[in-house]
Chain A
Amino acid sequence: MERSILSRRNFLGLSMGAAAGVALAGCGSSGPSSSTGGGGSAGSASYWFLTGAPGEGIRTNTVNRFNQANPDSKITATTFQNDAYKTKIKTAIGAGQAPTVIWGWGGGTLRTYAQAGQVEDLTSWFGENAAVKDRLFPSSFGAATIDGKIYAMPAETVQPIVMFYNKRAFERIGAQPPQTWGDVMDLVPKFNAKGIAPFSLGGQSRWTNMMWLEFLFDRLGGSEVFQAVFDGQKDAWSNPASIQALTLVQDLVKQNGFIKGFSSITADSNADQALLYTGKAAMMLHGTWTYGGMAADGGDFVSSGSLGYMNFPPIDGGKGDVSDTVGNPGQYYSISSKATAEQKETAKKFFKDAVLADAEVKEWIDAGAVPIVKGTESAFGASKDADFLKFVYNTSANAKTFAQSWDQALSPTAAEKLLDNIAQLFQLKISPEKWAENMNGVIGQ
């Protein structure tokens, strides 16, 4: 009797352990089962990147071109879906199974890789290959540089966050796009009276809400406010400008500035874009990467010229430069320090010869994106999206400060805390002061 009770108890305990253990372990292994793992054979390098048009096709073409030109040192590509990749790459690097070429967003995540000694220092390589460095936007190197050393090659496209608007919605209420924050607040009741939501927002994704704070902080207090946080200054979030910005955004929420139910809309499903092109919402603050989606799914919305775009408007009395912008200054390719010497050589050759070569640059432009290569404006004219491309180019090139998105710039720990608190702020569950207090707690982590 005694023994059987004991063993049953053990069994129960063990099965609970199994459930929790599997839950924890299971989380780490989301990804395609075809994954080839790290390493690979001696000369051939592995490369993991994201799925999704148009990037996936362009990245694949670049790899194929490189492989055709270099039959001896091939690159094997494996693709991952965005959210799965974020977990998978961390797990793989942690287990010493990283691919040779690591695709990433730079900033805080790259910092954790660099501090763990998992990625190659490319500073001297860029010194030897100045031509590679000099043809790229200088602003793109900020997020690749950790403590003065370059750990990644900036690549692909520049993606500032801009204010999109639906010209048809503005015609319906007979108003002009806002020139200042005051205009924005004046427009809110006008749109609501016509049954149009002033702003579309995919609030469940949380980083979508963050874009609002990034601009409000900048326009009110200048780029120094976030820089102080980034530099780890004590209580930097309690800056008067940040409290004011947090209050402004809560005012906008209270005045129904955002679409009803915004906190249950995700950006992944593109529902926020759909709200804009169907005319249910008049404006949307979003990254320029949404342009392609709206052109593809929005019927004649983009092709008929109904999509308007502009930089975030200034705020009266604000200290920030109106040309400042925020977003992704580029994407970042790093080389795993665990790769063999041959693999590293292959990867460097790939960076030098294939990444952002003329053929790839052309493909990005055709897809409606601006590659981070200098002097591509002349190629925009031939594109059907010439106006938008010029706008993105000028917004990026003329920006006094091109800040990296906060959640990418900060460490994963601080970023998660930030996103959590932003979600609470938009739910009006915490006050601006409480928000600042919570965030001051993770400064420098």
Chain B
Amino acid sequence: MTSLAPPAPRGSTTTSAQGGRSGSVTWLALPAFLMFVAFAIIPLIGVLVLSFTQWDGIGDIHAAGFDSWRSVLRDPGLVHALWVTFLIMALSWAFQTPLSLLIGVYLATQSRFREILAVIYFVPLLLSSAALAITYKALLDPNFGLGAGLGIPLLQQDWLGRDNLALGVLVFVVSWQFIPFHSLIYQSAVRQIPKAMFEASEIDGAGRLRQFFSITLPQLKYTVITSSTLMVVGSLTFFDLIFVLTGGGPGDATRALALDMYKRGFQASLMGPASAIAVILVLVGLGLALLLRRLGGRDTTESQMEGV
């Protein structure tokens, strides 16, 4: 789902700075905006309304005031689901960011086999999450999987049957799938760093490590924020992978918020509480996205190119 969201436009304020052309731009945005109203705003309002009702998905919808909200907020399952969601988010961010950064920087250099490697790295992103989940599930099967087949004791763990292992596997598969995407973002950003900077630092006697930490990394600040926003907000909506890989198990060890919403709504026929969770999911995502933008500095017009 992450890959579907467009990266937040970095220099969106420049449009109004140039002035005069905003009228035609508004008209160009109209078709997209209409789609948005039909498929985003209206369902969102629907979900909000449903969260104040009682509905089993089949019979009549009854107004129920704050009943759904009360039952959701009192349920210890919500705190657990939020915690699981947070863990997946934090761990997959911590795992993906350094790796994507390094691969991205490496792919931006002019080394041999770079293009071939770039293609190979990109393959996981092309696969559907459900197919990935089924494949990993088969590979990690404790009795018929890779470990049992090859007789390697290290691989013969109960990968999806223990709480921490299952969460770890989930983070690994998520990262394996999305690292290529974020590497691609970093690669293109690294290529935009002016060569003059590296040449100047070389004259000053900076080594590759020093160049990386003093030039590459600071220059990638906004890319890190963009990529992190996509990772963090995207990880809120992980559903298909968890649903197929662990089904929220073992027990409720990987029952993230999106899965909790589905289970309440479509398996337990409690559409009211499920809608309440959907609203919480929207609010959490919104809050996180805004927070990340704040972390990136209030003034996005500030230039990174001063002195170049």
A260 touches B41 (CB 8 A): no
Contacts of A427 in B (CB 8 A): 250-251
Minimum CB distance partner of B274 in chain A: A24
Chain B contacts with A in 157-194, Cβ cutoff 8 A: 158-161, 166
Please, what's the 1-or-0 string for A1-39, where 1 marks a CB less than 8 Å from any CB in chain B?
A: 101100011001111111111111101100000000000
Please, what's the 1-or-0 string for B23-56, where 1 marks a CB less than 8 Å from any CB in chain A?
A: 0000000000000100111011011000000001
The docked-state distance in angstroms from the alpha carbon of A415 to that of B232 is 33
A384 is an interface residue with CB less than 8 A from chain B: no
A94 touches B159 (CB 8 A): no
B58 touches A24 (CB 8 A): no
The docked-state distance in angstroms from the alpha carbon of A91 to that of B250 is 28
B266 touches A27 (CB 8 A): yes
- Name which of A113-121, A218-226, A392-400 contacts chain B: A113-121
B143 touches A261 (CB 8 A): yes
Contacts of A3 in B (CB 8 A): 16
Chain B contacts with A in 262-282, Cβ cutoff 8 A: 262-270, 274-275, 278, 281-282
The docked-state distance in angstroms from the alpha carbon of A275 to that of B148 is 13
Contacts of B12 in A (CB 8 A): 4, 8
B142 touches A91 (CB 8 A): no
Chain A contacts with B in 347-379, Cβ cutoff 8 A: none
| B44 CB, nearest partner CB in chain A, Å | 4
Chain A contacts with B in 242-269, Cβ cutoff 8 A: 259-266, 269
The docked-state distance in angstroms from the alpha carbon of A4 to that of B258 is 31
The docked-state distance in angstroms from the alpha carbon of A111 to that of B43 is 29
B131 is an interface residue with CB less than 8 A from chain A: no
Contacts of B281 in A (CB 8 A): 20
B59 is an interface residue with CB less than 8 A from chain A: yes
Minimum CB distance partner of B2 in chain A: A19
| A134 CB, nearest partner CB in chain B, Å | 32
B16 touches A90 (CB 8 A): no
Minimum CB distance partner of B166 in chain A: A264
A129 is an interface residue with CB less than 8 A from chain B: no
The docked-state distance in angstroms from the alpha carbon of A354 to that of B60 is 34
A12 touches B289 (CB 8 A): yes
Contacts of A115 in B (CB 8 A): 59
The docked-state distance in angstroms from the alpha carbon of A271 to that of B143 is 9
A18 touches B143 (CB 8 A): no
Using a Cβ–Cβ cut-off of 8 Å, how many residues does chain B contribute to the interface with A? Answer: 61
B249 touches A14 (CB 8 A): no
| B21 CB, nearest partner CB in chain A, Å | 13
The docked-state distance in angstroms from the alpha carbon of A42 to that of B59 is 25
The docked-state distance in angstroms from the alpha carbon of A206 to that of B255 is 14
Contacts of A15 in B (CB 8 A): 5, 40
A18-B40, A19-B285, A271-B144 in contact; A423/B251 too (CB < 8 A)? yes
| A8 CB, nearest partner CB in chain B, Å | 6
| B255 CB, nearest partner CB in chain A, Å | 9
A16-B233, A19-B5, A24-B278 in contact; A112/B40 too (CB < 8 A)? no
Instruction: Give the contacting residue for B143; candidates A12, A203, A280, A417; CB below 8 A.
Output: A280
The docked-state distance in angstroms from the alpha carbon of A1 to that of B265 is 41
Minimum CB distance partner of B157 in chain A: A261
B59 touches A264 (CB 8 A): no
Minimum CB distance partner of A21 in chain B: B43
B58 touches A112 (CB 8 A): yes
| B83 CB, nearest partner CB in chain A, Å | 15
Contacts of B252 in A (CB 8 A): 420, 423-424
The docked-state distance in angstroms from the alpha carbon of A20 to that of B237 is 7
A264-B249, A271-B141 in contact; A23/B267 too (CB < 8 A)? no
Instruction: Give the contacting residue for B59; candidates A8, A27, A112; CB below 8 A.
Output: A112
B224 is an interface residue with CB less than 8 A from chain A: no
The docked-state distance in angstroms from the alpha carbon of A206 to that of B251 is 9
The docked-state distance in angstroms from the alpha carbon of A416 to that of B246 is 16
A20-B278, A22-B39 in contact; A423/B15 too (CB < 8 A)? no
Contacts of B158 in A (CB 8 A): 260-261, 263-264
Instruction: Give the contacting residue for A21; candidates B13, B47, B141, B267; CB below 8 A.
Output: B47
Minimum CB distance partner of A262 in chain B: B161
Contacts of A274 in B (CB 8 A): 144
| A114 CB, nearest partner CB in chain B, Å | 10
A21 touches B39 (CB 8 A): yes
Contacts of A275 in B (CB 8 A): 143
B249 touches A94 (CB 8 A): no
A112-B56, A280-B143, A417-B268 in contact; A18/B39 too (CB < 8 A)? yes
Q: List 19 A-B contacts (CB under 8 A).
A: A14-B40, A17-B43, A18-B36, A21-B43, A21-B278, A24-B262, A25-B43, A90-B57, A112-B56, A259-B143, A263-B249, A264-B159, A265-B141, A269-B137, A275-B143, A280-B143, A423-B251, A427-B251, A429-B251
Known: A4-B13, A412-B268, A413-B269. 19 other contacts (CB 8 A): A12-B286, A12-B289, A15-B5, A17-B41, A20-B278, A21-B39, A21-B46, A23-B239, A24-B261, A28-B266, A90-B58, A94-B58, A112-B59, A260-B158, A263-B160, A263-B251, A265-B142, A265-B143, A416-B268
Q: Which residues of A contact B (CB under 8 A)?
A: 1, 3-4, 8-9, 12-25, 27-28, 87, 90-91, 93-94, 112-113, 115-118, 203-204, 206, 259-266, 269, 271, 274-275, 280, 411-413, 415-417, 420, 423-424, 427, 429
Closest 5 CB pairs of A and B: A261-B142, A18-B40, A264-B160, A116-B59, A21-B43
